[in-house]
Structure 1
Amino acid sequence: MNKLVIHTIASICLVLASAFGASADTLSITLDDAIIRARSHSVDAAVALNELRTAYWEYRTYRADLLPEVSFSATLPAYYKKYNTYQADNGTYNFVRNNYLQMNGELSVSQNIWFTGGRLSLNTSLDFIRQLDGDYYNRFMSIPVALTLEQPIFGINNIKWNRRIEPVRYSEAKARFLSASEDVALSAIQHFFNLLMARENLNIARQNYDNATKLYSVAKAKREMGKISENDLLQMEINVLDAKSDITNCESTLKSNMFALRSFLAYDDNVELQPVEPSLIPQTDIVYSDALDRALSNNKFAKNLRRRQLEADYNVAKAKGNLRQISLFAQIGFTGASNEFNHAYNPLKDNQVVEIGFKIPLIDWGKRRGAVKVAESNRQVVENRLRQETQDFNQNLFILVERFNNQKMQLGIANSADQIARQRYDTNVQTYMIGKISTLDLNDSQVRKDESRQKYINELFQYWYYFYQLRSLTLWDYASGTGIDADIDRILKQ
């Protein structure tokens, strides 16, 4: 008796554990749930975030070039014991042995001058030499302060051009990240509706199998009474076999689409996702002119056009700057030298250097002029492409807006057709049982029912896909009437 009770209790616990385990592994997921999880867990979202981080650090590097740079360089120490060539007064050469220790250090503060393209530096340095052979001695040379200016003249001002290009590039990267987030949502929508369609097809196949089995039983009874022909009975049997085959195919498709969505959303393999059909849709109409204004203000496309135009202008300016090169180097400061450290700083002497160098090609057979013409021609090509891309973008946006506005009506029609087709099929099943319609009419109503249901799910998918495509292009949420933005600094710190 005790063994029986224990066995019964264990069996009940096992059944309950299995039931709770099965329910724990089954997860109902809405379209919003899939989109939210895709934006935080999918591989596509991780790739978009890494691309944003790369653009951010490139922008930080550009910003750092505009700030003062403090650097310290030193040689501690350098030891030399070798022979060097020495030229005497009579022009003869000899080898002289050197054996000395050398140390030096320099501290500098440099600042790029963006409006001229030059570089201004403030330096201080100290050099030390100790002779280790012959007459031992120490030697110090100091430059307490030196102000240095390096300035290209007539050349390209890279810093000025970077100030124009890099902010646009970073703004483009941020817009690209926001659009990529919406593209992740598009992928999630596609995977979600693939699974939803597969589940609906499986439900349809199972319902058709149950109905076909029931109708086949009725047909056998009618055949025994001689009310239908042998051909109709065989047709009903074929319907049962076809319905059973459809169940197998639909189960395979469901598993495949389940795996795809589960992998995309980074769920474990033991999780069974149950998609919930969206019941509410945003009730909004979109005006093309408004969508175009938002797209040109927010979308990465407009910023991409601006960046490419600036880069083409930069290449032309760079080619023209290479026609002639003149550079200025000027340094003013103080220096001192002595055998003692203290005397190296007192007294001090003026230290002034001014250099002006230039490089102007006299005969280059038109090479540099040709480079200018090539850059100008490339700029014309870029400008033509930008005009064509702008026209294509405007046209595609117009078509998308029209399709979205029409899709709400298409969805309503598909919903009505789905309900009517199901009512018609249910009526025909009852009518067939009493012998009022033929097998062909019944099969036709079943096909219409299945097609109407599939068409409704497909129209629902198209509606949401168009909606998020418009969000991606305009970076505007038409459901809430707010712009799509993100705290980029917070995202980058995650």
Structure 2
Amino acid sequence: MKRNTISLLIVVGVLFSTGGYAQSLNRKMTLTDVIYTAHEQSPSALVAKHNFLGNYWAYRSYKAQFLPSLNLGATLGNFNRSLMALQNSETGNIKYVENNNMRNNLTLSLDQNIALTGGKVSVFTQLNRLDQYAPERNITYNSQPINITYIQPLRAFNSLKWQKKTQPKEYEKAKRSYLETMEDITVTATSLFFNALLSQRNLERAQKNYQNTETLYRIAKERFELGKVTKSELLQLELRLLNDGLSINQSQLNLDMNQLKLKSYLGYNESVQLELVLPDSIPELALNVSEVVDLSYANSSFGLSQELSVLYAEQSVAEAKANRGLSATLSAQFGLTQQNESFKYAYKNPMDQEIISLGLSLPIMDWGLGKGRVKTAKSRENVVRTQTNQEDTEHRQDIMIKVVQFNNQIRQCKISAMADSVAEQRYEMVMERFINGTADVTDLNTAQSEKDEAANRYIQELNNYWSYYYNIRRLTLFDYISRTNISAEFDKIVGK
């Protein structure tokens, strides 16, 4: 019965390790390959690209406000048949008269916003046609061949002026945020890579452990028949063999799950079977805290986010002040106009026209509404400045912790690599001693557990090393191996 159980475990392990992927497409990948693939084709990278494109077109729309715009306007077929109330200026009598006409209008204008002053200048030409049907039929054309209009708000909030301060920074922030998102993808891909790699190595060790235990169990049975091994030790080995068989199945299940997560993240389907390669070395880097902090403020979106927070707070204060008290708008129009019943003469000998107006608005009593809005905006500005100072302190502390962790991790990896090698050698020695009859099953089990733990610890330390490194890269957008800033081909992304 026991032999049948052991044989069944062997068959199950073989099925898990080979049969399920007979038709799979095998792909060997290093950590660099996984990161490159994640950047090129993962759904997360595609989302990051489209988020950036949205910010790019928002910036293009902002810039378009400062370029001349050519506009065509028309009112066609405006028919009006109704009664209108007219009052006699001498007698004061009111009588209703029939209104029966149709108006058509065509306007072509060239408009330009003035960011410095917040005003707007327009050059336009216009043609109006009035068809009067009652009390008699007649047609009148009114032309305005050329007109120049300028509208200037006085003591008003100049949104264009503030946009010139904020929008270029917003676009630069969008670029850096895109790069940071790609580094987030790197961090996630690294974690998924090492999770799948650990499962892959656990399966390989479980299969090797099973083979070794099976060999030792066979030797122990022969010694048991000779009376050199006790029944208890033989049962310990048999239990170990059963556990190793279960470990194969569990390791295969973990590998399938972790590979599925990695493949899904990379955009691969289930037909692809990945063979992951353990990094054979790590670069020996020693990062300087001051350099990392300086690079973070120079390259990442953190410093820009702080600047924008303060700018928007200052903008709110300026808007609240502008909307308080006297407001005025100056409007001026200069041009030519003419009217005639014939279209041919509607443009002949035009007369000049000038229209100038100044509109004023002054709240006499607002019960402190304007003052309250200004005070509120200033309070929010103070809150934002306090928050940015606190965020600045926390950001520096976070960088310091990450740099210390990374610099210490190199030593951790070296020690773990040595421990892995020592544990593997000790296990081989204990196996030889067991075969020679100088070690017992307890020693063998202890050596195997220590070997497996040391191997897992080494992979975990490598995972920590690269996770720390890529997190620092994300904070600074700087590659410390090549000593270059991280960048992207933004013109290619937007299709230029």
Q: How does the TM-score come out when normalised to structure 1?
A: 0.93
| CA deviation after TM superposition for structure 1 residue 83, in Å | 3.0
SS at match of 1:345: coil
CA distance in 1 between partners of 2:363 and 2:83 (Å): 41
| CA deviation after TM superposition for structure 1 residue 344, in Å | 2.4
Q: What residue in structure 2 maps to residue 283 of structure 1?
A: 284
Q: What residue in structure 1 maps to residue 409 of structure 2?
A: 407
Q: For 2:329, give the aligned amino acid.
A: S
SS at match of 1:96: strand
| CA deviation after TM superposition for structure 1 residue 244, in Å | 0.9
Q: For 1:490, give the aligned amino acid.
A: K
- Pairing 1:67–2:102 present: no
Q: For 1:57, give the aligned amino acid.
A: W
- Of 366, 371, 389 in structure 2, the residue corresponding to residue 387 of structure 1 is 389
- Pairing 1:146–2:147 present: yes
CA distance in 1 between partners of 2:335 and 2:262 (Å): 70
- Pairing 1:43–2:40 present: no
Q: What residue in structure 1 maps to residue 83 of structure 2?
A: 83
SS at match of 1:346: coil
CA distance in 2 between partners of 1:231 and 1:424 (Å): 24
| CA deviation after TM superposition for structure 1 residue 402, in Å | 1.4
Q: What residue in structure 1 maps to residue 422 of structure 2?
A: 420
- Pairing 1:58–2:58 present: yes
- Pairing 1:492–2:494 present: yes
Q: What residue in structure 2 maps to residue 375 of structure 1?
A: 377
| CA deviation after TM superposition for structure 1 residue 340, in Å | 1.8
| CA deviation after TM superposition for structure 1 residue 389, in Å | 0.9
Q: What residue in structure 2 maps to residue 236 of structure 1?
A: 237
CA distance in 1 between partners of 2:471 and 2:395 (Å): 13
Structure 1: any 5+ residue segments left out of the alignment?
1-17
Q: For 2:206, give the aligned amino acid.
A: A
Q: What residue in structure 2 maps to residue 322 of structure 1?
A: 323
Q: What residue in structure 2 maps to residue 3 of structure 1?
A: none
CA distance in 2 between partners of 1:182 and 1:22 (Å): 35
CA distance in 2 between partners of 1:490 and 1:290 (Å): 31
Q: Which moved more, 1:130-139 or 1:414-423?
A: 130-139
CA distance in 2 between partners of 1:408 and 1:229 (Å): 46
SS at match of 1:323: coil
Identity %: 35
Residues 323-368 of structure 1 deviation map (CA, whole Å, 9 limit, x = unaligned): 0222111212222122122332233333222221122222111111
SS at match of 1:267: coil
CA distance in 2 between partners of 1:116 and 1:452 (Å): 70
CA distance in 1 between partners of 2:50 and 2:309 (Å): 23
Q: What residue in structure 2 maps to residue 453 of structure 1?
A: 455
CA distance in 2 between partners of 1:69 and 1:395 (Å): 50
Residues 135-185 of structure 1 deviation map (CA, whole Å, 9 limit, x = unaligned): 211101111222111111111111110000000000000000111111111
| CA deviation after TM superposition for structure 1 residue 22, in Å | 5.2
SS at match of 2:108: strand
CA distance in 2 between partners of 1:319 and 1:124 (Å): 38
RMSD of aligned residue pairs (Cα, Å): 1.8
- Of 393, 398, 401 in structure 1, the residue corresponding to residue 400 of structure 2 is 398
CA distance in 1 between partners of 2:359 and 2:238 (Å): 98
Q: What residue in structure 2 maps to residue 8 of structure 1?
A: none
Q: For 2:454, give the aligned amino acid.
A: S
Task: Give the conservation status (yes or no) of the 8 Å contact 2:109–2:123.
Answer: yes
CA distance in 2 between partners of 1:161 and 1:33 (Å): 45
| CA deviation after TM superposition for structure 1 residue 23, in Å | 8.2
Q: For 1:131, give the aligned amino acid.
A: Q
SS at match of 2:202: helix
- Pairing 1:364–2:366 present: yes
Q: What residue in structure 1 maps to residue 15 of structure 2?
A: none
Q: Which moved more, 1:212-221 or 1:425-434?
A: 212-221
Q: What residue in structure 2 maps to residue 299 of structure 1?
A: 300
Q: Which moved more, 1:33-42 or 1:323-332?
A: 323-332
SS at match of 2:494: helix
| CA deviation after TM superposition for structure 1 residue 230, in Å | 2.1
- Pairing 1:121–2:119 present: no
- Pairing 1:190–2:191 present: yes
Q: What residue in structure 2 maps to residue 273 of structure 1?
A: 274
